Amino acid sequence: MSKALLIFSDNIALQLAIDFADKLGNTYQFQIGNQELLNPNFTIDGKINSILESSIEAIEYSCIFIPFSLSKNNYVEFTGLRLACHIRLTPRFKNMSTPIVFYGYESAFEVNKLSSLGSILFSKGIYTTDRISIEDFRKQIAFVQENQLQVDTNSFTNIFIERLHIKPAGNYATHHSITNEWAIYRWAKALQLETENTQKIETSIGSNLYYKYLKCKYPITEVIDANSQIILNSGSILYIDDELDKGWDAIFKKICLNKTYNSIGSDFKGMTSEKVVSSTINEINRINPDVVILDYRLHDDDFENTNPQEISGYKILNEIKKINEGMQVIVLSATNKIWNLMELQKAGADGFILKESPELSVDSNYSKNTIANIYRTINDALAKKYLKEIYTDCEKFILTIDKMHYASDFLEALKNQLQLSYYLLSKAESKEQFAFAYVSLYMIIEIINKQFIEDIDEECYWDEVSKSYTFKAIERLTEWNKISFLYFKKWKGNDNRFIRNVHFQIQKRNGFIHNDVDILDRQSNNGNYLNHNIYKPEGYLNLFNSIKVLLSLLSNADTPHR
């Protein structure tokens, strides 16, 4: 027959332990030394876990005797119950379904009233006794053996989890909240990522009773094959988090495989909140990423602040958008407070990744689905990386326009239209919205035309004979005519291809505005729709390139004394 195990502590008769070791099995003395107690990182769960991992021989015992209380000075801590919960939830100790006998003079009813872990007393395989002597323990072992449950460990654990109620330690959004580590654990598991970091997670919170309980209650059933998931769009990604080393870096590195990936934040710990913000902005200016994945709380002070606008992540988001509104920022956060998310959205956040908290893990596919969503979010953000360049160019041109000497209302109209069209582009999701952004950009041509063309009586046309554009008399002018007049006659342009492009671009606009399907659905010889790119960023980008040329010519033609 296998050995029994007796756990005892200071207030228990040592003779009991001596006799037990002599006659019935193994013993273990539970004690918390001064050295341990004076370690600021000491936790009772860490202590118990360490005992089960390395101090007690991990063999299958016939029966484990535990006193209700293992404390020297405060009985109602009922540490014995906590130890038993750990035994039930620690596979490595090999006694998840071993009968446990609590010894002490309290009834199960009394203990349940006094301890939040009392529910364990009403789960299977748990006995209590107030008869404390070697002979009584011997009889108890025999009794327990006779009534041994024949249930496999998995089923036993499921039954146990149903009965047990373990609450998380009262805490709030701090680094003590296990949401952070829980999310890392879940996503690392879902990504099949076994690293030194996930080992570290196990070390840092793996001992936490609530965490063990969650792992048993919400096992991961579906994993994601990270190798089959790819972020299609190219671009560079910068990940910012003060807890990179906990495992976040490894997770995002895996997700962003084959992309240009950087991460910063492991040196944030010693910095002030202001320094965190300023050093991050310096790095952003240096690296110039297309997409930033930004953790919301990057500093201890952030857990202090109730005002979302004081949080370091918010401040960095603000600064990024000041530098370049087109740089895509995805915010990573544990917060489920809607007002925080709304503030971030108002500040320009382009996407969100919510850390998985335990209550969300009820759905066994949640992790897998969330990660799939992360891939999508990053992919979508990269798809919009063109906005960064457009914004940069817009800003450049606005500066250029400010220096021009044309009529101020004209210049103002140009700037406004530029900004408006960028705004519409940045917000565009549907094809119509992209088309409206396109149309808005086209308006710049009309503004220019209106400024410089009053009445002309010549139109520009393509002369097949001379193989060039030329002019002839006409009564009514189109916008293309006007702009081509300016291009050739006023600004001395000579790129035929360019002006032809402009012609098609204006036609596209006309087709959309007048809902002219002949124009809109025009196809090339190989069946491609030539004008459908008005519904995509590509259309805008092409037109924008043309507008850039026109604005440059406008600038070149500018003379100071006007």
Q: Is 399 in the site for another protein (CB under 8 A)?
A: no
Task: Pick the stretch among 64-72, 279-287, 478-486, 492-500 that binds another protein (CB under 8 A).
Answer: 64-72
CB 124 within 8 A of CB 89: no
Q: Is 304 in the site for another protein (CB under 8 A)?
A: yes
- In terms of CB distance, is 44 or 223 closer to another protein? 44
Task: Pick the stretch among 107-115, 229-237, 325-333, 486-494 that binds another protein (CB under 8 A).
Answer: 107-115
Per-residue binding string, another protein, 501-520, x by CB under 8 A, is --------------------
**CA 496 to CA 284: how far, in whole Å?**
41
Distance of CA 375 to the CA centre of its chain: 10
- In terms of CB distance, is 179 or 417 closer to another protein? 179
Q: Is 336 in the site for another protein (CB under 8 A)?
A: no
- In terms of CB distance, is 35 or 258 closer to another protein? 35
191's tokens: 């990504």
Strands 458-463 and 468-473 come out as antiparallel
Strands 126-129 and 236-240 come out as unpaired
CB of 401 to another protein, least distance (A): 47
CB of 177 to another protein, least distance (A): 8
Task: Pick the stretch among 138-146, 167-175, 333-341, 452-460 that binds another protein (CB under 8 A).
Answer: 167-175
Residue 379 CB: number of other CB atoms within 10 A? 16
Q: Of residues 112-151, which lie at the interface with another protein (CB under 8 A)?
A: 113-114, 132-133
**Interface pick for another protein out of 3, 17, 163, 366 (rule CB under 8 A):** 17
CB of 11 to another protein, least distance (A): 5
**CA 367 to CA 95: how far, in whole Å?**
29
CB of 359 to another protein, least distance (A): 18
Q: Is 170 in the site for another protein (CB under 8 A)?
A: yes
Task: Pick the stretch among 92-100, 155-163, 173-181, 515-523 that binds another protein (CB under 8 A).
Answer: 173-181
Q: Of residues 69-98, which lie at the interface with another protein (CB under 8 A)?
A: 69, 71-77, 79, 82
In the DSSP assignment, the letter for residue 244 is: G
**Interface pick for another protein out of 20, 64, 67, 80 (rule CB under 8 A):** 67
- In terms of CB distance, is 303 or 366 closer to another protein? 303
452's tokens: 């410089």
Per DSSP (E only), the strands in 441-531 are 458-463, 468-473
**Interface pick for another protein out of 1, 34, 258, 402 (rule CB under 8 A):** 34
Per-residue binding string, another protein, 189-208, x by CB under 8 A, is -----------x--xx---x
Q: Is 13 in the site for another protein (CB under 8 A)?
A: yes
Q: How many residues bind another protein, per CB under 8 A?
A: 59
CB of 39 to another protein, least distance (A): 6
Sheet containing 4-8, strands listed edge to edge, beginning at the edge strand earlier in sequence: 25-29, 4-8, 64-67, 100-103, 126-129
The partner residues of 529 in beta bridges, in order of sequence, read 523
**Interface pick for another protein out of 7, 24, 164, 209 (rule CB under 8 A):** 209
**Interface pick for another protein out of 20, 65, 160, 210 (rule CB under 8 A):** 210
Judged by DSSP in three states, 238 sits in strand
**Cα angle at 394 between 417 and 318, to 5 degrees?**
105
Task: Pick the stretch among 110-118, 357-365, 408-416, 546-554 that binds another protein (CB under 8 A).
Answer: 110-118
CB of 165 to another protein, least distance (A): 14
CB under 8 A, 24+ apart: contacts of 442-446: 442/505, 442/506, 442/509, 442/543, 443/417, 444/414, 444/417, 444/418, 444/547, 444/550, 444/551, 445/479, 445/483, 445/502, 445/506, 445/547, 445/550, 446/479
- In terms of CB distance, is 211 or 487 closer to another protein? 211
- In terms of CB distance, is 68 or 397 closer to another protein? 68
DSSP 259-294: SEEEEE-TT-TTS-HHHHHHHHHHHHHHH--SEEEE
- In terms of CB distance, is 32 or 530 closer to another protein? 32
Percent helix, strand, coil in the chain (nearest 5)?
Answer: 55, 10, 35
251's tokens: 């997770």
**CA 469 to CA 500: how far, in whole Å?**
10
Task: Pick the stretch among 289-297, 302-310, 371-379, 484-492 that binds another protein (CB under 8 A).
Answer: 302-310
Q: Which residue has the tokens 């209380």?
A: 69
HSE toward the beta carbon, residue 348, CA cutoff 13 A: 20
**CA 164 to CA 157: how far, in whole Å?**
10
Q: Which residue has the tokens 């007690």?
A: 56
Q: Is 309 in the site for another protein (CB under 8 A)?
A: no
CB 209 within 8 A of CB 232: no
Task: Pick the stretch among 172-180, 222-230, 259-267, 439-447 that binds another protein (CB under 8 A).
Answer: 172-180
Interface residues with another protein (CB under 8 A) are 11-18, 29, 31-40, 43-45, 55, 67, 69, 71-77, 79, 82, 104-106, 110, 113-114, 132-133, 169-172, 174, 176-177, 200, 203-204, 208-210, 303-306
